[in-house]
Amino acid sequence: MTVQTPIYLDYAATCPVDPRVVDAMLPFFTQMYGNAASRTHSFGWTAEQAVDNARAELARTLSADPKEITWTSGATESNNLAIKGVVEYVQSGAEGTRPHVITAVTEHKAILDTCKYLERHGADVTYLPVGPDGLLTAEQVAAAITPATVLVSIMFANNETGVVQPIAEIGKVCRERSVLFHTDATQAFGKVPIDVDAMFIDLLSMSAHKIYGPKGVGALYVRRRKPRVRLAPQIHGGGHERGNRSGTLNVPSIVGFGEAVRLARESMAEESARIQGLRDHLHDRIMAENEHVFVNGAYDHLLPGHLNISFAYIEGESLLMALKDIALSSGSACTSASLEPSYVLKAMGLDDELAHSSLRMTIGRFTTREEVDHVADALKRHVTRLREMSPLWEMVQDGIDLNSIQWAAH
């Protein structure tokens, strides 16, 4: 059977908007276009009602209260609001204190860059290492807590590898020590069950476009009781969203986000099983058909749709180039002119070569078995071809230990 190309296997980067989500959004552009903050007429009331419905969908999916949901422009903003919001609130209350934040080296740049910023603005940050499997432990977090610690921020699941952290255990440690716990759940929300009470989560970041909603809208869960979380707002003006985040609400996108969340929650069990079945099939074929390939991240702790694999003795970029009709990501990040190996994979102990030779394949709602088989076929063909062209591969085949070679200086 022929499949239509290009094939999209990069659902962790973004998703197509589900047509049902588009249908839900459309009337809010031209018919129900009121400002949700307009209290004096039905246009405003209709918009506010729609926003409230969406808020309730998110809250229900987290076992939270709708009052605990703050709309943002996406998870990058949610992460900024959570981390700067907590730290700056503490700083505003006690002149001269240096609040301490704990996070991990494998976090998204929206966390790491925010922490770097705070280090230049009167805060201290501890970056916890991860194991070769990409996992952290609650014991590591407990050991890093000091009397100055105000916030722990650990992502629910990693965007590059799909590794899911022991969130409830980490949350429990934080609650016992009266430290706030934030989690960037952008990859996990809508895909695995999340209960903010059972997991002791105080702040949680979400984004619509990773779950078949529109780009440019997200939310932050902010616990209101036991404990009540206080944030310094990052955007001022008008006091929308209980003062947490001012600005006229993007009603069509919020409606779309709510519908995307409803669809994700209602189909979660069935959809996860289907997507994981495809992912396992792709994994099994790649492992059976290629030598010297390694899964990055603890396979039994992955999100259902993630697969990150290193193909030793191949440049990831050459493989990407050969797989032009398949949309996926490599373990190399283009920073200006140079190709940097993924900091996430390097933190898991991979050398530059293996990090560069990795591919992230992420499967989603619209992926078919035919597409997955096409990808496995193409991988087998190109991996074989590229290795046949590689002098390193020839040496490996001849049984030469590459680590024993004294390379000439270059």
Ligand X SMILES: *Cc1c(COP(=O)(O)O)cnc(C)c1O
Task: List residues binding ligand X (CB under 6 A).
Answer: 74-76, 108, 110, 155, 159, 184, 186-187, 207, 210, 218
| Shortest distance, position 334 Cβ to ligand X, whole Å | 17
Q: With left for phi above 0 and alpha for psi between -120 and 50, is residue 388 left, alpha or beta?
A: alpha
CB-nearer residue toward ligand X: 34 or 213: 213
Tokens of 359: 């591919």
Q: What are the b/e assignments for 31-49, b being 16+ CB within 10 Å? A: ebebebeeeeeeeeebbbe
| Rounded distance between C-alpha atoms, residue 131 and residue 298, angstroms | 10
Torsion over CA of 39, 45, 48 and 50, rounded to 10 degrees?
A: 180
Nearer to ligand X, 73 or 91 (CB): 73
Query: Which tokens hold the place of 362?
Result: 């992420």
Residue 160 or 202: the one with the smaller Cβ distance to ligand X is 160
Angle between helices 109-119 and 75-93 (to 10 degrees): 20
CB of 163 or CB of 379, closer to ligand X = 163
Residue facing ligand X at closest CB distance = 74
Distance CA 341, CA 348 (A): 12
What's the gap between Cα 371 and its chain centre? Answer: 24
Query: Least CB distance from residue 291 to ligand X, whole Å?
Result: 31
Closer of 157 and 293 to ligand X (Cβ): 157
Cα gap 286→43, rounded to integer Å? 55
Nearer to ligand X (CB atom), residue 70 or residue 76: 76
Report how far apart, in Å, the C-alpha atoms of 39 and of each of 42, 44, 45, 50 are: 8, 6, 7, 14
Determine which one of 15, 115, 174, 334 is catalytic: 334
What's the per-residue H, E or C state across 255-303? HHHHHHHHHHHHHHHHHHHHHHHHHHHHHHHHHHHCCCEEECCCHHHEC
As measured in angstroms, the least distance from the Cβ of 159 to ligand X is 4
**Cα(313)–Cα(290) distance, integer angstroms:** 12
| Cβ proximity to ligand X, 134 vs 218, nearer residue | 218
Whether the CB-CB separation of 20 and 263 falls below 8 Å is answered with yes
Count CB neighbours of 23 within 10 A. Answer: 11
Shortest CB 155 distance to ligand X, Å:
6
Nearest distance, CB of residue 210 and ligand X, angstroms: 6
Is 115 an active-site residue? no
List the structure tokens of 26: 């459309």
* Least separation in angstroms between CB 362 and ligand X: 10
AA letter at 386: L
Provide, rounded to whole angstroms, the least separation between the CB of residue 302 and ligand X.
14
Residues marked as catalytic? 334
